[in-house]
Amino acid sequence: MGEAIGFNTLKVGQRVKVKGKPAKDGSFVALEVSIKSADENAACEGKIQGLDPQKNSIRLMEREFILPSGIEIANVQRKAITLGDLKVGDVVKLKGAYSASQGFTPVKVKMQEFKGFSIEELQGDIQQIDPAGKTLNVLGFTIITNEKTEIEGFDRPERRDRGDRPDRSERPDRPDRPHTKQ
């Protein structure tokens, strides 16, 4: 398995946003990992796979989340709605707290606008890193990274060295820009 550029810059306790796809085994294949500033709320965003009004639960990312009674649920316009107003296929963001012993406990559910494609998202602190397996643990999910995973928010050496770029005035490929250097 290849390594995502920047994987070794990630640290336990660091806040990240992970975009990707959940797998049937409960893991999460990361397409993108972004380093974020600290926040007390964790978040999961994805398409609803199932609803159970009797258990007051919602299923997304191959996991079932029990919603506390009286949880705030809002539609895309941020108007209050009930669990009964949601349907399978709707995209929602669950916000809440995470602890290793309690798991993820949602305190808010917000419908999100469907953008025509489905990329799920997790946001929380890195609890564990496996350097050999190139995996992270965020919100109880094992995050799988590979050479296709983009890691953003760290200082890449290649971004600091821009000496290989030609000066704009030396660009004959841009006839709209005058060439002032001779």
Answer yes or no: are the C-beta atoms of 132 and 13 closer than 8 Å: no
pLDDT of 180 higher than 90: no
107-119 residue pLDDT tens? 999 999 887 777 8
Q: Please state the pTM of the whole predicted model.
A: 0.79
Q: Residue 182 falls within a domain, yes or no?
A: no
Average pLDDT, the chain: 85
| Whole-number pLDDT of residue 38 | 87
Q: Residue 84 falls within a domain, yes or no?
A: yes
Distance CA 119, CA 19 (A): 6
pLDDT of 90 higher than 90: yes
| Whole-number pLDDT of residue 39 | 87
Q: Residue 1 falls within a domain, yes or no?
A: no
Domain count, the chain: 1
The CATH number of the domain where 64 resides is what? 2.40.50.320
